[in-house]
Structure 1
């Protein structure tokens, strides 16, 4: 059996590779989630606002690239890689041993969906408690160019970490931990447990083998479920991390509901699905190949 270090490193590599490929979609998603209802802007004002007012994913990406430069789409890539190395490596690397713990021994044959969900919830919580500071810095860097957020002007990821600690205290690195734990536990369960379940289900169907096509379908299914289930807590997490005026998770939730309506919790849904769907496909395809080659 492969060592935990080998499994952790292969998981971290797959997660980091998927992050680099999909972070422009994540930047667009964060900008869309941070949008709040405002008086209508004139076309000229909207053009200079640094985001696509009322626009969708593609419009937001084009507007960010035009107003802030193409490199702005990769804002947050460094803490994003920090996050995926820690969070991706831990949540995926711990999944099999934690699943074995819940079933009471070595995993042999089919495992119940409940055991898979419990294992994924557990590893999602453990991993994000460690990785929350990297998530906070990533969101702040991605939000920094938006017109109606606080301009912090961090020069980079390391500068952001040090500035937050100096100005807000080390505890501020765990801002948004509540919704982040909820979001990542839920999404991790939706991703890992559903990928595991979809793959198990497909392999029982005639004509399906443990190949790239099966991994692709299972990854798409996992990504879609993750977005449907996790979007509301993802929006609250992004808003709390991007705007420090919220007093708590409940405060952010109620203000978002009151000021922007229920639809706000699915803002950036298309960007989120493009991001998480493609992220899952790339990550699981990479992970399966890396594990097959090295482990």
Structure 2
């Protein structure tokens, strides 16, 4: 949906049905390998960076505990850190998912991109990816802090699970609202084929946002929002549940000084 240009309206269900009708069910899983390989290191970097930047900003600010403002800044910094890990995997995924793609698979994408553009070609769309993760993580971690503050304190483990899921889901929703326009731009940049001597139509993030807004209207900046938010809102809740559960296991096994 994000790679389609113009003002035509293609909803999620219509797009899904069209892909199945024209290309078969298997096409829905095109580009599956890069996200699978990326998921664990990406999430590890996200939360490790959030912990690192949180401690750093607390020390610099002189605050004794996390505030709303610091949680947003910390999240944005964690997203910026995470983006450097993500770019090559996202590039391969987008190249494979493009409707006009003729690549045989992930390795073929890497081989052809490196052959044509060098190793730095795998980092096409770095700037747009940076902003995508910067804003998503700022919204995600900022909302977790805010939602936890207004929810009743959990009295049981089940209550704590519920609070974590709700705050993570709200964070995932808000993060997706903030970052979808940047995701659209990233997809356009990474999906384009570079032509020697020709300046790409979509190059830098914020000028590209203006171009899409002017040529296709404001709704084009939210192409693909429905499937993204259906994945990332509950996914944000599950992610926080898993992280908190895992940290709890390690705290119990190793003791507070280590975790």
Give the TM-score normalised by the residue count of structure 1: 0.73
Match of 1:238 in 2: 187
Give the 5 Å matches for 1:70-81: 70-81=25-36
**Kept after mapping to 2: 8 A contact 1:125/1:181:** yes
Q: Give the distance between the partners of 1:235 and 1:191, measured in 2 at CA.
A: 19
Match of 2:245 in 1: 289
Q: Give the distance between the partners of 1:187 and 1:258, measured in 2 at CA.
A: 24
Note the C-alpha offset of 1:90: 0.7
Note the C-alpha offset of 1:70: 2.3
Match of 1:119 in 2: 74
Match of 2:87 in 1: 132
**Kept after mapping to 1: 8 A contact 2:58/2:64:** no
**Kept after mapping to 2: 8 A contact 1:203/1:209:** no
Give the 5 Å matches for 1:1-295: 32-37=1-6, 54-104=9-59, 110-143=65-98, 146=99, 151-204=100-153, 210-244=159-193, 245-246=200-201, 248-249=203-204, 250-295=206-251
**Kept after mapping to 1: 8 A contact 2:58/2:65:** no
Note the C-alpha offset of 1:290: 2.7
Equivalences, count: 243
**Runs (5+) with no aligned partner, structure 1:** 1-31, 39-52
**Kept after mapping to 1: 8 A contact 2:45/2:82:** yes
Note the C-alpha offset of 1:209: 6.9
Give the TM-score normalised by the residue count of structure 2: 0.83
Deviations 1:138-174 (A, max 9, x none): 121122xx2xxxx342222122112111122222111
Note the C-alpha offset of 1:109: 7.1
Q: Secondary structure of 1:259's match?
A: helix
Note the C-alpha offset of 1:133: 0.9
1:64–1:282 Cα change, 3 Å: farther
Deviations 1:93-127 (A, max 9, x none): 2211220111018x997411111112111121122
Q: Secondary structure of 1:33's match?
A: coil
Note the C-alpha offset of 1:197: 3.0
1:79–1:98 Cα change, 3 Å: same
**Kept after mapping to 2: 8 A contact 1:202/1:208:** no
Q: Give the distance between the partners of 2:135 and 2:159, measured in 1 at CA.
A: 26
Q: Give the distance between the partners of 2:103 and 2:93, measured in 1 at CA.
A: 11
| Higher-RCO chain (CA-CA 8 Å, sequence separation at least 6) | 1
Q: In angstroms, what is the RMSD of aligned CA positions?
A: 2.6
